[in-house]
Structure 1
Amino acid sequence: MNNTAMFKLTYGLFVLTAKDGDKDNGCIINTAMQVTAEPNRIIIVVNKQNYTHDMIMKTKEFNVSMIDTEADFELFKHFGFQSGRDVDKMSDVSFSRSKNGVAYLNEMVNGYISGKVISTTDLGSHTMFLADVVDGDVLSDYESVTYSYYHKNIKPAPQPVKKKGWICKICGYVYEGEELPPDFICPICKHPASDFEPIQ
């Protein structure tokens, strides 16, 4: 099988936010979609290693901010390349709060949707959350960023590397060494060894 066929599926990119007590957090996800209109429901799929995942499991509430084409790579680095367990991701970003008290971004997004979780499905490495839509608004007229747009227009091109190792096709992380362990998980984007290729 040619695994790159999976890259032809269309995905959006989103900042998923949650709040647990006084703690706000957010992460980048690529799976959020409306599944029914009446009742208005969406699903999100979140990697279990993300701190935001644990917050949603506990509180059952979240917001999804839809990233638009005005976004820069710093937004993806800020929410995707570090953990909320180690840093306060919301300390230096502009955000507001929706009716559920959860933050949503004010910049580089064209809207947000608030969800109230009604069920979860264990997908192994990820959890799928089914949620009722309880709030939302349009914030700009810019187009939403797709995964393809991100790779073509936002993500910097990988720089030539002279080391022996493996490079993540998703985020560009480099694993140094002759052999990549088959169970290796990228520490940046959480993708498996199958998304790495040898450095030429």
Structure 2
Amino acid sequence: MSEMDKKAMYKLTYGLFVCTAVLGEKKNGCIINTAIQVASDPNLISIAINKSNYTHDMVKESKKCNISVLSTEAPFELFKHFGFQSGRNVDKFANYKKYSVASNGIPYILEGTNAYFSLEVVQMVDLGSHTLFICKPTGMEVLRNKQSCTYEYYQENIKPKPEAVGVTIEGETVWKCRICGYTYVGEELPDDFICPICKHPKDDFEKIVK
């Protein structure tokens, strides 16, 4: 009988990317960890975006986007800016200037990146929590010769180490998201709980003990 040790999921390797889109006058972007070449003839790239992200809706409607490949030089503030807030509530490009615009009219990120791809959606697959977009590249460019940032590198070298938390003054238990550091106070974490910041489920939370 096989075991279901969900920690095995952390052994899968991922890159990290900023997916950007434009819809009307709105520019937006979010952090994704799935962008891979799935075919060479024709050349196709797949990306998966959580449906709770506003960027998801923009890509679904516009049928195009850019992905900027994050490098090991990417600062934590870049992850916070594009990953820890929603484009439904803020304009992520209002005061952000470290980008250029590709020929498809969509921004790509210049800070902490080593390449970008302009993509046109040719197929969409509903995966439940995410949509898988199969895309053909319409443009691509190497920006600098720096190593790409893996999810493991982000966890070990970029994301700040969690502070010791434990329990509140009132003695309540604290749960911390392993992905973004969001904390939830309560003895038990609801089974259907979704992190309001990075959208990860209960399995990515750990009980913090002093």
State the TM-score, normalizing by the size of structure 2.
0.93
Q: Could you say which residue in structure 2 is the equivalent of 1:105?
A: 109
Alpha-carbon separation, structure 2, partners of 1:40 and 1:99? 19
Instruction: Summarize deviations over 1:86-117 as a string: whole Å, max 9, x none.
Output: 11111213111111111101121001001100
Alpha-carbon separation, structure 2, partners of 1:186 and 1:37? 36
Aligned AA (1:185): I
Q: Could you say which residue in structure 2 is the equivalent of 1:199?
A: 208
The secondary structure found in structure 2 opposite 1:54 is: helix
Aligned AA (1:190): K
Give 2:164's match in structure 1, choosing from 155, 160, 163: 160
RMSD between aligned residues: 0.9
Cα offset, 1:148, TM superposition: 0.6
Give 1:128's match in structure 2, choosing from 129, 132, 136: 132
Alpha-carbon separation, structure 1, partners of 2:13 and 2:206? 23
Alpha-carbon separation, structure 1, partners of 2:154 and 2:98? 22
Equivalent residues of 2:30, 2:83 under 8 A apart: yes
Cα offset, 1:185, TM superposition: 0.2
Aligned AA (2:206): E
The secondary structure found in structure 2 opposite 1:12 is: coil
Q: Does 1:35 align with 2:35?
A: no
Equivalent residues of 1:93, 1:105 under 8 A apart: no
Q: Structure 1: 5+ residue runs without aligned partners? A: none
Q: Which runs of 4+ in 1 moved over 4 A?
A: none
Aligned AA (2:187): E
Q: Could you say which residue in structure 2 is the equivalent of 1:174?
A: 183
Equivalent residues of 2:166, 2:174 under 8 A apart: no
Aligned AA (2:55): T
Instruction: Summarize deviations over 1:10-58 as a string: whole Å, max 9, x none.
Output: 1000000000011100000000001111111100000000000000010
Aligned AA (1:149): Y
Equivalent residues of 2:20, 2:27 under 8 A apart: yes
Alpha-carbon separation, structure 2, partners of 1:107 and 1:189? 21
Q: Does 1:144 align with 2:153?
A: no
Equivalent residues of 1:68, 1:108 under 8 A apart: yes
Aligned residues: 200
Cα offset, 1:165, TM superposition: 2.2
Q: Structure 2: 5+ residue runs without aligned partners? A: 168-172
Alpha-carbon separation, structure 1, partners of 2:141 and 2:46? 18
Equivalent residues of 2:100, 2:109 under 8 A apart: yes
Cα offset, 1:199, TM superposition: 1.7
Equivalent residues of 1:165, 1:179 under 8 A apart: no
- Residue identity (%): 57
